[in-house]
């Protein structure tokens, strides 16, 4: 029989391996071209080189370890080959195992049997090495962080090691030890099997296990290596105590520091003793040294675990607060530092402040920027009045601020993106060549509405029309939150721009962006990359055509810098006429010693991180896709390491255009995490912390559905207490744990030099300040508001209760909740009423301005506030009533000059007449009563010779 050449054994796996690699190689080359065009070739090369180097190193080291050990075992095959389950030739002899030993000469030349085993060993070693190499290449970032590690400047309080070791080096050592242990164990098991097959390891009834001198030496050395790596694992478990939870707080507890740490040191000593016994086993035919080493390790491990349990039960548990106090202090300090909470500015509010009309007027900038439009109702409205065509979508609404006509205004902006899934004809040409981009935005103030209850829009329609001094000169959106995977531009096909009446306007992509096609080979490349032959066969794609891909904002940024965590809410900004996306990026770690991790996933930030910084700001041009990574927090050690690894990736924040910098805002994901952590870690007294005496919660509110919803942070423009001007902030209130009254509110500032500063304003614990749930309950129980909402719902309309906003004014609070009405079978929510609560008073009016006027009657000529929301009389008559409510407490007596009181009297009279016409007799009686109060004040003023 003809022997096949050895190469044939490897040929089929090699061909299969090459075919398997074609698609990844094509994707890598396409990405290489993309990175080159985007200006981040060095970033791609750094990752590629690191992956390749680690992959090759992992393959080579694992192959040498496994194959080298297997080869030494196979090399011992000098005589008969023992086959499992076969009896010895000529019968069993004394001292040999029961079974048959077949002399290789009786069945085949001895060299063939050994050669087959050797080839099998090589194949097994290669397969193990391939898996090890692939696994190793996945640790490229761990390796780079290890080699570029920098100190944090803080040391842990137990071992005295710099925090940088935990964040940058610890994970690499753990991975390296795991890799070596896996290879060693595989070598040990494989060699044991090979030695057994080669007759070098036997078991006899007379003598038990018998090992040849060669096998004993080899296996003893491998066992010693295992003990060495076990000892290294015990060494790494020591710092591991500081980044895990075992007691009442995260990090090493009393038992860890005083018992488990000692046990780990003993295990290191036992492991070292095991190495010595393994070497000693080289010189004896007995197995007792190995047995003693293994038994000793398990004995110490079990005894140590038992000792830790006893210490916890009899030492710590009876005196837990006292014993754990030093470790609680460490946990508090580390957590506050890791989540950037150690610099929070804390202020106390009196809780006794009473608002006056003067306070309302002094906070005009705050009140005229109260957000009356919730995101979802506004998206629904935009979808009906501004999508224009079915293939356009508004994905999200972004809160921002602009100086509009000289006035600092909070706005809500939404991009009109193209949704190819909604195209009437979803052909390849339409999706990839014709319908390539969205077009334009809608932008309006957060508080203004039309007579019909619809949002006022400063920028709207196609092409975009602006009614203010804010214009969009390049409205095309090729890169966004909804953009499909790839499109080809500068092709022979006409590129749709926007609809115009019964016709369409077409355009040509004019930016020097995207990967050039350059001919047939590029067409073939991207046909394979996108797994579509149409790109190869299309006559519309020219040599000067370009392909745009990685067009989704978060996916685009993550492709360039996958080691950053990106905020879940990129937002669009109009800057110098262009549309620019801003995306916040975080540096995170889960290995900051003694810092407690976040309890759950927040937005796009994963569960389990215990260090976070908003260190990077990413900007992406909606037209060209130009992507820039700005270094926002150069003091962050993590981002410094990344900047050292990728020197061409980050640019200073000072180089960002000034007009764009004015739109930076503190991101919601990190603020939500910080608020969650601060709700616990504002307690810096270890005794208070241990008993959870002052723990806070983020309140939940009733949204009109069966389940309450956790309140989320919201952006607003407001003047903080003791501040001179209004500013753009993000805010979230707190309630005491399992209580509904308000305990404090937290803000993150976003303007100018105050960007990123956190502040908390606390109410006295002895004062009861209504919380959100209490206010919502009082609104739902109001004798006028509740029946009116029920009446609307019974008439077939849907009442949508908006977000309850907590509006701090001076040292007091206003609560504002908009009400939207959606007609039966309708799709457009309309803002119909605004509910305002202050202390024990609740009113519902057409507008925020009217509600404030009822709560705080005019004492002087009133400054213009938010625009009024008017409702046609016909709608009031159709409803049969006017859904207003009176305050539960009488307002203070009106004051002012005779002329001012006369103006107030006229206003009350006009509203009384209006209520009479609408059949709203409760409102009519209230206005007549107020009119009487004004008239009495005028009489007393005339009698006394004047009015205050």
Question: What span, in angstroms and rounded, lies between the C-alpha atoms of 825 and 383?
Answer: 15
Q: Which residues contact 345 (CB under 8 A, 6 or more apart)?
A: 757, 758, 759, 760
Instruction: Name the pLDDT band for 795 (thresholds 50, 70, 90).
Output: confident
Q: How many whole angstroms separate alpha carbon 502 and alpha carbon 355?
A: 57
Alpha helices in 149-212 (DSSP H): 163-164, 170-197
Which whole-number Å values give the CA distances from 655 to 114, 622, 660, in the listed order?
A: 69, 19, 10
CA angle (191, 194, 200) in 5-degree steps: 100
Give tens-digit pLDDT for 404-423. 999 999 999 999 999 988 89
**Residue 868, CB half-sphere, CA atoms under 13 Å: how many?**
9
In three-state secondary structure terms, 449 is: strand
Locate 519 and state its tokens: 């001919």
Considering only residues 438 and 100, tell me which one the structure prediction assigns the higher pLDDT: 438
pLDDT at 105 over 60: no
Q: Strand pairing of 627-631 and 650-652?
A: parallel
The pTM assigned to this predicted structure is: 0.84
Per-residue pLDDT at 898 exceeds 90: no
Residue 222 pLDDT > 90: yes
Place 12 in a pLDDT band, splitting at 50, 70 and 90: low
> pLDDT tens for residues 456-510?
999 999 999 999 999 999 999 999 998 778 999 999 999 999 998 888 999 999 9
Q: Which range among 107-121, 256-270, 870-884 shows the weakest confidence by mean pLDDT?
A: 870-884
Nearest-angstrom CA–CA distance, 357 and 810: 12
CA dist 208 and 219 (Å) reads 17
Confidence of residue 16 (pLDDT cuts 50, 70, 90): low
Mean pLDDT computed over every residue of the chain? 86
pLDDT by residue (tens digit) across 834-862?
999 998 889 999 899 999 998 988 754 44
């Amino acid at each position: 029989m003809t022997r096949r050449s050895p190469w044939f054994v490897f040929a089929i796996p090699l061909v299969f391996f090459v075919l398997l690699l074609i698609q990844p190689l094509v994707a890598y080359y396409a990405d290489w071209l993309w990175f080159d065009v985007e200006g981040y070739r060095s970033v791609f090369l750094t990752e590629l080189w690191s992956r390749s180097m680690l992959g090759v190193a992992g393959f080579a080291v694992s192959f040498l370890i496994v194959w080298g050990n297997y080869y030494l075992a196979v090399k011992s095959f000098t005589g008969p080959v023992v086959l499992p389950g076969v009896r010895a030739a000529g019968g069993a002899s004394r001292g040999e195992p029961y079974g048959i030993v077949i002399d290789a000469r009786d069945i085949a030349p001895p060299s063939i049997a050994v050669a087959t085993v050797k080839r099998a060993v090589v194949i097994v070693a290669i397969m193990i090495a391939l898996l090890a190499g692939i696994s190793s290449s996945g640790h490229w970032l761990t390796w780079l962080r290890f080699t570029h590690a920098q100190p944090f400047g803080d040391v842990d309080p137990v071992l005295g090691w710099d925090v940088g070791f935990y964040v940058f080096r610890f994970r690499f050592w753990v991975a390296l030890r795991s890799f070596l242990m896996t290879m060693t164990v595989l070598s040990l098991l494989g060699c044991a099997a090979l030695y057994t097959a080669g007759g070098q390891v036997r078991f006899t009834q007379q003598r038990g296990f018998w090992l040849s001198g060669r096998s004993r030496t080899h296996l003893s050395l491998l066992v010693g290596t295992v003990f060495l790596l076990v000892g290294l694992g015990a060494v790494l478990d020591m710092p591991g105590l500081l980044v895990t939870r075992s007691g009442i707080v995260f990090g090493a507890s009393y038992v860890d520091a005083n018992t488990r740490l000692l046990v780990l040191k003993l295990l290191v000593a036992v492991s070292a003793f095991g190495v010595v016994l393994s070497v000693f086993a080289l010189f004896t035919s007995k197995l007792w040294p190995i047995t003693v080493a293994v038994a000793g390790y398990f004995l110490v491990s079990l005894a140590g675990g038992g000792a830790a349990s006893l210490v916890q039960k009899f030492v710590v548990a009876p005196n837990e607060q006292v014993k754990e106090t030093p470790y609680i202090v460490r946990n508090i300090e580390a957590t506050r530092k890791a989540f950037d909470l150690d610099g929070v500015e804390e202020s106390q509010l009196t809780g006794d402040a009473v608002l006056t009309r003067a306070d309302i007027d002094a906070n005009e900038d705050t009140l005229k920027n109260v957000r009356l439009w919730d995101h979802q109702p506004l998206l629904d409205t935009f979808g009906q009045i501004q999508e224009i065509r079915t293939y356009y979508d508004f994905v999200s609404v972004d809160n921002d601020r602009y100086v509009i006509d000289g006035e600092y205004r909070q706005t809500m902006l939404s991009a009109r993106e193209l949704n190819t899934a909604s195209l009437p004809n979803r052909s390849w040409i339409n999706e990839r060549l014709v319908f390539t981009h969205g077009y334009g935005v809608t932008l309006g103030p957060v508080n203004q509405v039309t007579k019909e209850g619809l949002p006022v829009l400063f920028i709207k329609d196609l092409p975009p029309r602006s009614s203010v001094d804010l214009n969009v000169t390049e409205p095309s959106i090729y890169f966004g939150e909804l953009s499909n995977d790839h499109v080809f531009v500068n092709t022979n096909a006409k590129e749709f721009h926007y609809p115009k009446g019964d016709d369409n306007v077409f355009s040509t992509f004019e930016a020097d962006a995207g990967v050039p096609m350059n001919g047939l080979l590029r067409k073939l490349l991207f046909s394979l990359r996108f797994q579509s032959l149409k790109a190869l066969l299309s006559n519309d794609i020219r040599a000067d055509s370009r392909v745009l891909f990685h067009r989704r904002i978060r996916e685009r940024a993550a492709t360039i810098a996958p080691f950053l965590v990106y905020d879940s809410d990129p937002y669009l900004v109009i800057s110098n006429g262009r549309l620019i996306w801003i995306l916040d990026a975080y540096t995170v770690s889960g290995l900051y010693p003694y810092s407690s991790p976040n309890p759950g996933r927040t937005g796009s930030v994963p569960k389990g991180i215990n260090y976070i910084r908003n260190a990077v700001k990413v900007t992406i041009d909606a037209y060209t896709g130009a992507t820039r990574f700005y270094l926002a927090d150069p003091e962050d050690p993590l981002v410094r390491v990344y900047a050292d690894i990728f020197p061409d990736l980050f640019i200073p924040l000072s180089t960002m255009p000034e007009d764009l910098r004015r739109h930076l805002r503190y991101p919601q994901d990190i603020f939500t995490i910080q608020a969650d952590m601060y709700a616990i870690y504002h307690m810096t007294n270890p005794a208070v912390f241990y008993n959870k005496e002052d723990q806070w919660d983020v309140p939940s509110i009733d949204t009109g559905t069966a389940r309450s919803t956790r309140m989320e942070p919201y952006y607003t423009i407001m003047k903080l207490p003791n501040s001179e001007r209004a500013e753009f902030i993000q805010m979230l209130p707190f309630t005491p744990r399992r209580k509904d009254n308000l305990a404090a509110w937290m803000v993150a500032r976003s303007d100018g030099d105050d960007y990123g500063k956190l502040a908390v304003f606390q109410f006295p614990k002895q004062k009861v300040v209504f919380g959100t749930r209490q206010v919502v309950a009082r609104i739902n129980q109001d004798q006028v508001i509740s029946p009116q909402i029920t009446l609307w719902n019974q008439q077939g309309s849907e009442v949508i209760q908006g977000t309850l906003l907590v509006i701090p004014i001076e040292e007091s609070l206003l609560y504002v909740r908009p009400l939207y009405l959606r007609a039966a079978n309708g799709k457009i929510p309309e803002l119909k009423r605004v509910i305002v609560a202050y202390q024990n008073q609740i009113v519902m009016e057409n507008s925020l301005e009217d509600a404030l006027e009822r709560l705080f009657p005019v004492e002087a000529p009133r400054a213009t506030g938010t625009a009024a929301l008017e409702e046609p009389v016909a709608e009031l008559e159709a409803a049969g009533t006017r859904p207003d409510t009176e305050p539960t407490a009488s307002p203070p007596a009106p004051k002012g000059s005779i002329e001012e009181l006369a103006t107030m009297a006229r206003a009350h009279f006009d509203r009384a007449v209006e209520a009479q016409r609408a059949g709203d007799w409760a409102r009519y009686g209230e206005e007549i009563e107020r009119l009487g109060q004004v008239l009495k004040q005028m009489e007393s003023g005339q009698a006394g010779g004047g009015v205050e």
